Protein backbone atom coordinates (compact mmCIF):
# COMPACT_ATOMS: atom_id res chain seq x y z
CA UNK A 1 0.00 0.00 0.00
CA UNK A 2 1.40 3.38 -1.01
CA UNK A 3 1.05 6.35 1.34
CA UNK A 4 -1.61 8.82 0.27
CA UNK A 5 -1.79 12.27 1.81
CA UNK A 6 -4.98 12.45 3.90
CA UNK A 7 -7.45 15.10 2.80
CA UNK A 8 -10.21 14.01 5.20
CA UNK A 9 -9.73 12.60 8.69
CA UNK A 10 -12.63 11.12 10.66
CA UNK A 11 -12.59 11.40 14.45
CA UNK A 12 -15.01 9.19 16.35
CA UNK A 13 -16.34 10.57 19.65
CA UNK A 14 -18.87 9.53 22.26
CA UNK A 15 -19.00 13.02 23.86
CA UNK A 16 -18.55 11.26 27.19
CA UNK A 17 -14.76 11.45 27.11
CA UNK A 18 -12.51 14.34 28.05
CA UNK A 19 -9.81 14.02 25.40
CA UNK A 20 -6.18 14.34 26.37
CA UNK A 21 -4.59 17.42 24.83
CA UNK A 22 -1.59 15.32 23.75
CA UNK A 23 -3.86 13.01 21.75
CA UNK A 24 -5.64 15.88 20.04
CA UNK A 25 -2.32 17.57 19.24
CA UNK A 26 -1.28 14.52 17.20
CA UNK A 27 -4.55 14.74 15.28
CA UNK A 28 -4.25 18.51 14.80
CA UNK A 29 -0.62 18.21 13.66
CA UNK A 30 -1.53 15.67 10.97
CA UNK A 31 -4.52 17.71 9.82
CA UNK A 32 -2.52 20.94 9.69
CA UNK A 33 0.50 19.33 8.01
CA UNK A 34 -1.63 17.93 5.18
CA UNK A 35 -4.32 20.65 5.20
CA UNK A 36 -6.90 17.94 5.94
CA UNK A 37 -10.44 18.43 7.17
CA UNK A 38 -11.37 16.79 10.47
CA UNK A 39 -14.82 15.19 10.45
CA UNK A 40 -15.92 14.57 14.04
CA UNK A 41 -18.80 12.14 14.33
CA UNK A 42 -20.97 10.81 17.13
CA UNK A 43 -23.23 7.79 16.76
CA UNK A 44 -26.53 7.27 18.57
CA UNK A 45 -28.49 4.05 18.07
CA UNK A 46 -31.80 5.85 18.60
CA UNK A 47 -32.90 9.10 16.99
CA UNK A 48 -32.96 11.54 19.89
CA UNK A 49 -31.51 14.83 21.02
CA UNK A 50 -28.09 15.01 22.63
CA UNK A 51 -28.23 15.11 26.42
CA UNK A 52 -27.28 18.37 28.13
CA UNK A 53 -23.90 16.91 29.15
CA UNK A 54 -23.25 15.78 25.57
CA UNK A 55 -24.23 19.24 24.25
CA UNK A 56 -21.76 20.81 26.68
CA UNK A 57 -19.03 18.35 25.67
CA UNK A 58 -19.69 19.05 21.99
CA UNK A 59 -19.46 22.80 22.56
CA UNK A 60 -16.15 22.33 24.39
CA UNK A 61 -14.84 20.18 21.53
CA UNK A 62 -15.91 22.79 18.98
CA UNK A 63 -13.81 25.33 20.92
CA UNK A 64 -10.81 22.98 20.98
CA UNK A 65 -11.15 22.32 17.24
CA UNK A 66 -11.37 26.04 16.38
CA UNK A 67 -8.61 27.00 14.00
CA UNK A 68 -8.72 23.61 12.29
CA UNK A 69 -11.00 22.56 9.46
CA UNK A 70 -13.41 20.71 11.73
CA UNK A 71 -16.99 19.67 11.00
CA UNK A 72 -19.33 17.90 13.43
CA UNK A 73 -21.86 15.19 12.58
CA UNK A 74 -24.52 13.29 14.51
CA UNK A 75 -25.37 9.87 13.08
CA UNK A 76 -28.41 8.08 14.47
CA UNK A 77 -30.54 4.99 14.15
CA UNK A 78 -27.61 2.75 13.28
CA UNK A 79 -24.88 0.71 14.93
CA UNK A 80 -21.41 2.13 15.46
CA UNK A 81 -19.82 -0.27 12.99
CA UNK A 82 -22.36 0.47 10.24
CA UNK A 83 -22.23 4.22 10.89
CA UNK A 84 -18.43 4.21 10.76
CA UNK A 85 -18.32 2.24 7.52
CA UNK A 86 -20.96 4.39 5.79
CA UNK A 87 -19.50 7.66 7.12
CA UNK A 88 -15.99 6.76 5.95
CA UNK A 89 -17.24 5.83 2.48
CA UNK A 90 -19.63 8.76 2.03
CA UNK A 91 -17.13 11.42 3.17
CA UNK A 92 -14.13 10.00 1.30
CA UNK A 93 -12.25 9.58 4.57
CA UNK A 94 -8.52 8.89 4.22
CA UNK A 95 -7.73 8.30 7.91
CA UNK A 96 -9.76 7.27 10.94
CA UNK A 97 -8.73 8.52 14.38
CA UNK A 98 -10.04 6.96 17.60
CA UNK A 99 -9.21 7.35 21.25
CA UNK A 100 -9.68 3.86 22.66
CA UNK A 101 -10.78 3.52 26.25
CA UNK A 102 -11.72 -0.13 25.90
CA UNK A 103 -11.08 -2.97 23.49
CA UNK A 104 -14.85 -3.22 23.06
CA UNK A 105 -14.76 -0.01 21.00
CA UNK A 106 -12.64 -1.76 18.37
CA UNK A 107 -14.84 -4.83 18.41
CA UNK A 108 -17.96 -2.69 18.00
CA UNK A 109 -16.56 -0.33 15.38
CA UNK A 110 -14.61 -2.75 13.23
CA UNK A 111 -15.42 -6.26 14.31
CA UNK A 112 -11.78 -6.52 15.36
CA UNK A 113 -10.30 -7.20 18.77
CA UNK A 114 -7.35 -4.79 19.02
CA UNK A 115 -6.03 -1.63 17.37
CA UNK A 116 -3.31 -3.76 15.73
CA UNK A 117 -5.78 -6.08 14.00
CA UNK A 118 -8.06 -3.14 13.21
CA UNK A 119 -5.18 -1.51 11.30
CA UNK A 120 -4.36 -4.72 9.46
CA UNK A 121 -7.87 -5.12 8.05
CA UNK A 122 -8.28 -1.41 7.36
CA UNK A 123 -8.01 -0.07 3.84
CA UNK A 124 -6.82 3.30 5.13
CA UNK A 125 -4.63 4.45 8.05
CA UNK A 126 -6.12 4.28 11.53
CA UNK A 127 -4.66 6.54 14.22
CA UNK A 128 -5.27 5.08 17.66
CA UNK A 129 -4.62 7.09 20.82
CA UNK A 130 -4.66 5.23 24.11
CA UNK A 131 -6.16 6.49 27.34
CA UNK A 132 -4.57 5.63 30.67
CA UNK A 133 -6.96 4.96 33.59
CA UNK A 134 -6.89 7.53 36.36
CA UNK A 135 -4.99 10.16 34.39
CA UNK A 136 -6.05 13.77 33.82
CA UNK A 137 -6.87 14.05 30.12
CA UNK A 138 -7.16 17.80 29.81
User: Tell me, what's the pLDDT at 32?
Assistant: 95
Q: Percentage of residues in the chain with pLDDT exceeding 90?
A: 36
The pTM for the full model equals 0.76
Contact indicator for 6, 32 with CB cutoff of 8 Å: no
pLDDT category at 120 given cuts 50, 70, 90 is very low
Query: What is the per-residue burial (b if ≥16 Cβ within 10 Å, else e) of 103-137?
Result: eebbeebbebeebeebbeeeebbbbbbebeeeeee
Q: Which class in CATH covers the domain with range 16-130?
A: alpha beta
- What is the per-residue pLDDT across 68-115, written as a single tens digit (0 to 9) for each? 998 999 999 888 888 888 898 899 998 888 776 654 444 444 555 445
Amino acid sequence: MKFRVPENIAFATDYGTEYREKNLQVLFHLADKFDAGIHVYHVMQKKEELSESHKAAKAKMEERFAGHRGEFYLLSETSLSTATRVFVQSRNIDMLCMVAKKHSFYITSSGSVTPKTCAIISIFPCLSCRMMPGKDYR
